[in-house]
Amino acid sequence: MAPVPSIAATVHQRVADALSAALPEAGSADPLLRRSDRADFQANGMLALAKKLGGNPRELAGQVVDRIPTAGNADPDAAIAAIEVSGPGFLNITVADSAITSTLAARAADDRLGVPYAENPGTTVIDYSQPNVAKEMHVGHLRSTVIGDAIVQILEHRGESVVRRHHIGDWGTQFGMLIQYLIEHPHELDHASDTAAASGEGEAAMARLNRLYKASRALFDTDEEFKDRARRRVVDLQAGDAETLALWHKIVDESKIYFQGVYELLDVEVRDEDVVGESAYNDDLNQVCDELEAAGVAVRSEGALCVFFDDVKGPDGQPVPLIVRKSNGGFGYAATDLAAIRNRIGTLKADTLLYVVDARQALHFKMVFETARRAGWLPEGAAKQLAFGTVLGKDGKPFKTREGETVRLVDLLNEAVDRAAVVVREKARELSEEEIAERAAQVGIGAVKYADLSTSMSRDYVFDLDRMVSLNGDTSVYLQYAHARIRSILRKAGTAVPKAHPELPLAPAERALGLHLDEFAETLASVAETYEPHKLAAYLYQLASVYTTFYDQCPVLKAEEPNIVANRLFLCELTARTLRQGMALLGIRAPERL
Ligand code: ARG
């Protein structure tokens, strides 16, 4: 279906045309249109332009006004109802009610709500949700997963080809220890030795891995001979020894079962083919090092292969290099990331690489990107870290348990769902236990996601469940209730597709709601361009708020005339669809009833 030009775009076009007709020497000057409290829009562009060309801004503004047909003068169908010069040379513009309603009707007629696809979509590879094998997922993995998933949805909705990459930590020296222990204690991962798994497959898998991790760590720390055997096992792993690889697979698979359990709870889809961990690049690492060295990008320093940067120095003033290969011949985190860039640009043909990773890894990515650029693998500016801040406890410090340990993501999520169940139960007494459990999951998980996504990504935020599941304020629960309330009105009305009536004048609250609904497409475009999901969250919160005002001021089912009832139902329905679509892009469910 065809994209629908927004009212702002239409008004912008009219004013820009009038401006270039009034002042041909200005070419296509920008009228600088923005929403305003005084009228619907204000255009400020005449000020700077008159100054630049040495004219009088009020005079210029007057000439523009003369060239714009309005509903008040020549053209009863004009989108602009009134336009007037104000102050030193602004234009105050009021849009015609009929233009608002008919634009919204065109949106409602389209499955995509009139939202256009990007003009030149490309291919983006996004690296997000990258937990580590044999370890628990913690609250940092929450951010990467939730932000990454929202950005995937938002970009795909615009028509971008998105390749997802879960760069899991599945390679490294700790696997020598785990595998060696498994060889010496072959039944350690057996399912039969489980005590009853309380919360499903995934948790049972993690329990087994934890047991393996603790037991092998204890031996590694106390038994020098085991330590030696474990170190030799790493070499076997990197050399591709069959028995070693088989056990490594077993550990990775066990972890994937656990990860999937968490993803299910989080209501996020992670496909197996997109899980391409550090190990996937193992065969490329020698080549990466050879090319870097041959190109002079990397040099040997104290036995290691290093890349140096003028502006990266340690506290002692000495340069801190990126170590691509350690002096013992082992490859680290940097080598894998460099190989991944070559693959993503060279083989996957990405135009853009995104990395949704903790801000504390900013220096790592800065050095990796610069190295890849010097090596000619990465075009300037093609890679971007979407660096996110830290999740804090109520004490303002990085979130820890009372015992000082990192908080398990599963525990947090379960607690959020429990809290949500209390809220849901209080609100809706006629629900069955099963329905309460389902809504509680949608409300609780939505609340956690929304709290994360509604804060600008780079900022730290406090994990406060009381605030997150509150019905009032900037929460997903507020959005979900607004949506459910609309759905309930529509059910009561019984009309499947309410009809818009552009001939009706609009009340102020209807106009405010209508103009905000119309901004959905532009909001999505800007959110996709700047990778800022919090702007979508803010838009939706604002939408629920203007809807609430509309609902308080404009009776819907009890309106005085059938056409007004229909038109208000139409506004309700479009609001519900816009909320639902926007929330879906953030990974948040919009239940029919709450
Ligand atoms: N596994 C890492 C962690 O848990 C994050 C990996 C980020 N992605 C990357 N390509 N380095 O901290």
- What is the distance between the alpha carbons of residues 411 and 77, in angstroms, rounded to a whole number? 59
Nearest alpha carbon, ligand 1 atom 9: 167
How many angstroms separate the alpha carbon of residue 45 from the centre of ligand 1? 46
Are 334 and 384 contained in the same domain?
Answer: yes
What is the predicted pLDDT for the residue at 195?
52
Domain assignment present for residue 315? The answer is no
- What is the distance between the alpha carbons of residues 179 and 237, in angstroms, rounded to a whole number? 9
Lowest mean pLDDT among 4-8, 78-82, 535-539: 78-82
Domain assignment present for residue 130? The answer is yes
Last residue of a domain, one of 463, 479, 499: 463
Closest C-alpha to 448, from 267, 590, 257, 259 = 267
Domain assignment present for residue 294? The answer is yes
Are 498 and 566 contained in the same domain?
Answer: yes
Atom number, ligand 1, closest to the C-alpha of residue 357: 7
Give the residues surrounding ligand 1 with Cβ less than 6 Å away: 127, 130, 132, 167, 169, 337, 355, 357
For residue 60, the domain's CATH number is 3.30.1360.70
Atom number, ligand 1, closest to the C-alpha of residue 365: 11
- What is the distance between the alpha carbons of residues 469 and 420, in angstroms, rounded to a whole number? 6
Query: What contacts 192, CB < 8 A, 6 or more positions away?
Result: none
Are 173 and 242 contained in the same domain?
Answer: yes
What is the predicted pLDDT for the residue at 478?
96
Domain assignment present for residue 30? The answer is yes
Query: What contacts 5, CB < 8 A, 6 or more positions away?
Result: 103
Residue with tokens 């979407």: 386
- What is the distance between the alpha carbons of residues 463 and 392, in angstroms, rounded to a whole number? 6
Are 351 and 344 in contact by the 8 Å Cβ rule? The answer is no
Q: Which ipTM was obtained for this model?
A: 0.98
Nearest alpha carbon, ligand 1 atom 6: 130
Are 278 and 314 in contact by the 8 Å Cβ rule? The answer is no
User: pLDDT (tens digit, 9 = 90+) per residue, 464-503?
Assistant: 999 998 888 999 999 999 999 999 999 999 977 899 999 9
| Residues spanned by the domain of 428 | 391-463
Q: Binning pLDDT at 50, 70 and 90, where does residue 192 land? A: low
Atom number, ligand 1, closest to the C-alpha of residue 333: 11
How many angstroms separate the alpha carbon of residue 174 from the centre of ligand 1? 16
| Backbone phi and psi for residue 454, each to the nearest 5 degrees, phi listed first | -85, -10
- For residue 329, is it left (φ>0), alpha (ψ between -120 and 50) or beta? left
Domain assignment present for residue 508? The answer is yes
Q: Which of 252, 342, 357 to mutate to test the pocket of ligand 1 (most atoms within 8 A of CB)?
A: 357
User: pLDDT (tens digit, 9 = 90+) per residue, 8-17?
Assistant: 999 999 999 9
Sheet holding 304-307, edge to edge: 299-301, 304-307, 322-325
**Per-chain mean pLDDT for the chain:** 93
Are 341 and 376 contained in the same domain?
Answer: yes
Domain assignment present for residue 321? The answer is no
What is the predicted pLDDT for the residue at 194?
52
For residue 214, the domain's CATH number is 3.40.50.620
* Per-residue 3-state assignment (H helix, E strand, C coil) for 413-456: HHHHHHHHHHHHHHHCCCCCHHHHHHHHHHHHHHHHHHHHHCCC
Nearest alpha carbon, ligand 1 atom 8: 167
Bridge partners of residue 33, in order along the sequence: 43
The domain total for the chain is 4
Are 158 and 186 contained in the same domain?
Answer: yes
Nearest alpha carbon, ligand 1 atom 5: 130
pTM given for the model: 0.94
Q: Which helix (H) or strand (E) holds 299?
A: strand 299-301
Are 378 and 403 contained in the same domain?
Answer: no
Q: Is the pLDDT of residue 592 over 60?
A: yes
Q: Is the pLDDT of residue 308 over 60?
A: yes
Query: What contacts 37, CB < 8 A, 6 or more positions away?
Result: none
- Alpha carbon of 358 to those of 122, 153, 268, 383, 413: distances in Å? 25, 20, 19, 15, 20
Lowest mean pLDDT among 108-112, 141-145, 425-429, 588-592: 425-429
For residue 563, the domain's CATH number is 1.10.730.10
Are 166 and 275 in contact by the 8 Å Cβ rule? The answer is yes
User: pLDDT (tens digit, 9 = 90+) per residue, 409-418?
Assistant: 999 999 999 9
Are 75 and 176 contained in the same domain?
Answer: no
Q: Which of 129, 361, 369, 406 to mutate to test the pocket of ligand 1 (most atoms within 8 A of CB)?
A: 361
Last residue of a domain, one of 95, 110, 143: 95
Domain assignment present for residue 322? The answer is no
How many angstroms separate the alpha carbon of residue 168 from the centre of ligand 1? 7
Nearest alpha carbon, ligand 1 atom 4: 131
Are 525 and 435 contained in the same domain?
Answer: no
Are 11 and 33 in contact by the 8 Å Cβ rule? The answer is yes
The residue-averaged pLDDT of 558-573 equals 96
What is the predicted pLDDT for the residue at 22?
86
Atom number, ligand 1, closest to the C-alpha of residue 169: 1
How many angstroms separate the alpha carbon of residue 337 from the centre of ligand 1? 9
- For residue 27, is it left (φ>0), alpha (ψ between -120 and 50) or beta? left
Domain assignment present for residue 340? The answer is yes
Closest C-alpha to 208, from 219, 229, 184, 192 = 192
Last residue of a domain, one of 440, 463, 486: 463
Are 454 and 475 contained in the same domain?
Answer: no
Are 89 and 138 contained in the same domain?
Answer: no
Are 166 and 276 in contact by the 8 Å Cβ rule? The answer is yes
Are 166 and 286 contained in the same domain?
Answer: yes
Are 561 and 454 contained in the same domain?
Answer: no
Query: What contacts 183, CB < 8 A, 6 or more positions away?
Result: 233, 243, 247
Closest C-alpha to 362, from 457, 463, 293, 290 = 457
